[in-house]
Amino acid sequence: MIDRDLIKRALEEDLSGGEDITSVATVSDSEKIAADFVTRKAGVIAGIDMARAVLEEVGITDITLFVQDGAQVKAGELLMTARGDTRAILLAERTALNFLGHLSGIATLTNSWVRAVAGTKTKIRDTRKTTPGMRQLEKYAVRMGGGTNHRMGLYDSALIKDNHIAAAGSVSAAFSKVLAKYPDADIEIEVDNLDQLREILLFKPDLILLDNMSVELCAQAVAIVSGAAKLEASGGLTIENAKTYALTGVDYLAIGALTHSAPNFDIGLDMRKE
């Protein structure tokens, strides 16, 4: 996945109409170099096409990719080699690594959650807690890590949360209003307790969000619903208790941390003469 407009903005953020004063002062305009993108740790790669596109944006076209997004890699693995104008590669270096490290960090973190619930039916799902302007890329990185996407925005499905319920007066009133206004929309509704769960089941929702419920309450909710709706657990989840929640039989774990708290994946750019 490539967002060329975002790449242009990121490069302009570095230059702001000027030039790379350090490289112009220290590197001749005729110098050529080979640059290897190399992992410093093990994980899952996402954003390799974004990194390549950054190099292309500054005029580097001799690029060899050794992995594709979604690849599991070891520390010290060569991801990509670029050859060409040294100044241009230095201009692209940080922006390319920023995209590649950030997106690979999301993919790697997501994959750790996916492995934590392996052997269950539960899927790991993201949220809208994304970096402004980077949602499409970050949700793409979640998929590369083996996770699944929740809605992309407010426009493609309804998620009735506690503030909507408070405004409408009850879970049933809120659900009825959304269903009446958007009868063809996918509708998910949040419940805080089992009484609300029983109340909303009468309306046959497709998906119910169990908000901040304990493992025991989630297990009870699964028994009450008995397959009549999909269930998503949210709040209080950690990678240590993920398997315990998954074993209750919920269909999804909603993990905002996949995108808002993923650590950067360490990748270096090693330059060499040929």
Q: Which has the closest alpha carbon to 111: 267, 268, 262?
A: 262
User: Quick check: 210 and 221 in contact, CB under 8 A?
Assistant: yes
User: In the numeric block, which tokens belong to residue 29?
Assistant: 């305009």
Q: What is the distance between the alpha carbons of residues 75 and 30, in angstroms, rounded to a whole number?
A: 33
Q: What DSSP state is assigned to residue 121?
A: S
User: In the numeric block, which tokens belong to residue 117?
Assistant: 């619930």
Residues designated catalytic: 94, 129, 161, 190, 211
What letters, b where the CB count within 10 A reaches 16 and e where it falls short, cover 56-67? bbbebeebeeeb
